[in-house]
Amino acid sequence: MNLLCLTRFPERVLAPVYVTVPTTTATATSREYSPLDIFRSNKAQNFAIEGRNLKFSFTTRQTQDAPVLRDCSIRIPCGQFWMLLGPNGCGKSTLLKILAGLLTPTSGTVYVNEPKSFVFQNPDHQVVMPTVDADVAFGLGKINFTNDEVRSRVSRALHAVGLSDYMKRSVQTLSGGQKQRVAIAGALAEACKVLLLDELTTFLDETDQVGVIKAVRNSVDTSTEVTALWVTHRLEELHYADGAIYMEDGKVVMHGDAASIRSFIESRQSAYINQINS
């Protein structure tokens, strides 16, 4: 049962070291990427998520301090939907867990607007109450809301994720994607400002995949406060994003608009295919 607390409840973050630094979001180009690019600017913007020079190592029985993140810097403007991509094992989930406060970086600074919520990949880990409305209201129990306020928040959150007609449905009868949307509605009902979403569409068929991604897009669009960071391997999902970050081997390789990141990854993939075919 407490798993839900992990997924939905605000987590501890390091104290903000900076909140707003004047900048524009760098546009991805083929020139060499410098982590400092995203902090250079000529325009003031508010950022919901900022990580500077983040490093992280796991210590295992076999290896002392195996480096996973090597100097990652990212920043994501408030009210936008961004995606994080990169090959298996490059450190995407580790970075997301640091932003969620589930892991502490070895060095570097992190600031994430609160409250924030981390949604896991497995839909069956997201929902615990018997009905949809009870599940969305679950996290509100710790706040002293009136019944009317709870009902109104649940209703608005379910509307944002396109599940208004499912309020009284048993969660056991939902598809994987619908369960993910119920989990997102739970975060929205608690007025979460940042959604951290780790490969939600991996186990879903195409219809469910599109349903979840549109739910996140709509949640961001219908609020001025919600910012989402979505980890994915699916390039076609970049169509829904305002911006994206591409990582390799524990480093941020590109950080910019979604279309440019998509072209960059596609050119990377075709160069790799040409190389193995030659």
Where does this chain bind Mg ion (CB under 5 A)?
93
Q: Judged by CB under 6 A, which of 5, 89, 270, 273 binds ligand ATP?
A: 89
Q: Which is nearer to Mg ion, 106 or 121 (CB)?
A: 121
Q: With DSSP H G I counted as helix, E B as strand and the rest as coil, what are the percentages for the chain, rounded to 5? A: 40, 25, 35
Structure tokens, 197 = 């979403």
Contact mark string toward ligand ATP, 33..62, x via CB under 6 A: -------------------------x-x--
What is the β-pairing status of strands 194-198 and 227-231? parallel
Question: Does 22 contact ligand ATP by CB under 6 A?
Answer: no
> Residue 277 Cβ, how far from ligand ATP at the closest point, in Å?
25
Q: Is 18 in the site for ligand ATP (CB under 6 A)?
A: no
Residue 51 or 139: the one with the smaller Cβ distance to Mg ion is 51
92 belongs to the binding site for ligand ATP (CB under 6 A): yes
The residues in 183-242 that bind ligand ATP, with binding defined as CB under 6 A, are none
The CA distance from 9 to 187, in Å, is 8
Contact 163, 174 (CB under 8 A): no
Strand partners, 254: 246
Residues 63-82 that bind ligand ATP (CB under 6 A): 68
CB of 133 to ligand ATP, least distance (A): 32
* Helix runs in 57-140, H state only: 92-100, 132-137
The whole-angstrom separation of Cα 33 and Cα 73 is 11
Q: Is 94 near ligand ATP (CB under 6 A)?
A: yes
Q: CA end-to-end span of the chain, whole Å?
A: 53
